[in-house]
Amino acid sequence: MNIKNTICLALAITFLWSGHSISYSQNRKALLTLSKLSEEFEALSKKVSPAIVQILVTGYIPTGNGSAAVFTKQRGSGSGVILDPTGYIVTNAHVVDGARRVQVILAVQEKRADASSILKPRGKIVGAQVVGIDRETDLAVLKVQESNLPVLILGDSDEVRSGQLVLAFGSPLGLQNTVTMGVVSATARQLRTGDPMVYIQTDAPINPGNSGGPLVNTRGEVIGINTLILSQSGGSEGIGFAAPSNIVKNVYEQIRASGRVRRGIIGVNAQTITPLLAQALDLPNSGQVLIADVMHFSPAEKAGLRVGDIILSLNGKRMENARQFDVNLYKVAIGDDVILEIQRKTVNKMVKVAIVEQPDDPERFSDLVSPEKNLIPQLGILGLDMSETIAKMLPTLRKKSGVVVASRSNLLYEQDQFVPGDVIHAINNQPIGSLAELRTFLKNLGRYDPVAVHVERLGQMRYVVFELE
């Protein structure tokens, strides 16, 4: 009996709990159905659990203030899921980001059919290599030197619907091989306005340590990677979020192939057609997607797209707003084509458009830095000295000197004011030409001193202002 087919037991249980008069045979049938459902969940858990791993990390975080900052060893843990029998594992980027040592605890494989001990030995601990990290989706791929490992397959997250039963696997609070059950609360949940990354929301209990573990459907397919929770207490409050499997698949395949993720674009700026916009521009409908701009020399321009075209569908999927369009484009790999159905005045036509790499990829500097050499703890960034090579990776600069912000450091301060690609030219009117000059200047500042950092961002100068922590 399929799990979905047994959900009808909820009705029988409702009758039992509410005191309705039903026969002994009906009572017995309901209890047998409940028992059967329990057995099927047990079988599903037994099938999935061997492919779940616990991840142990050791890293160093800066402690202290200003020039007194020192590195302190810190340990942490998370979860992961094996997707390839040769040892490729997917987890969250924040589980392993900044780690100096990564180990994986493989699940114990029960070879005896009559194994009955409720106390399982700890699994095999093996070293793991970080193949690549994608901070934008908070995903990472690890590799262990093992073979013939149990695996799970990635399902189609586009088929996920609210109300579906799901199981969350992982090692919450370090408790290895834990499973919880819930439903899909919502799909395509966007946590930040304008962010193309969306999540599956679930009420399956997720706690610290579950990060990186899979969210699994009743067929045992991975439909998401558990990523974060919203909580006032720090524990599970039934609001958990998982990265959808279709996005996971794209990131996993790119990192496995090249060690990094390249973002794809077609070169248009899309806007949702609101009732007011439709009225002002005499457009035929609202709740669709309007092309507001086509970039010069872009694939969209080469394909013949024009400002004013209405996007009806992408790869056969109806587009109802600009956010949906951006999210679906986000999943497509570079080098692939998408088929757009557009409406131009009264004519509908199909257009094939190539996906090319997004310029100014925020991850383009990540391979050039390390916390030991490039961390500026007072600013919460990893910085790079300007060089001819680095300059070529940036837009045309007004001043070809300074310190380049390679990434924000989540090891300490997490200053939202800086973005990768910023070039620091001065602090408090003091010119800055190198990392050494930046560190020397910051040593003379105290806690809560006001700081005005003059940065160049995409050809424009601006001040980033805050108090030093």
CA dist 36 and 103 (Å) reads 38
Q: What is the DSSP track for 265-326?
A: E-SEEEEE--HHHHHHTT-S-SSSEEEEEE-TTSHHHHTT--TT-EEEEETTEEP-SHHHHH
Taking the CA atoms of 435, 437, 438 and 439 in sequence, report the sign of the dihedral they define. positive
> How far is Cα of residue 405 from the mean position of the Cα atoms in its chain?
22
CB 253 within 8 A of CB 259: no
> How far is Cα of residue 173 from the mean position of the Cα atoms in its chain?
21
Active site (catalytic) residues: 94, 138, 211
Side-chain-facing half-sphere of 239: CA atoms under 13 Å: 9
For the chain, how big is the Rg over CA atoms in Å? 26
Residue ranges with strand state E in 160-262? 165-170, 178-189, 199-202, 214-216, 222-229, 240-244
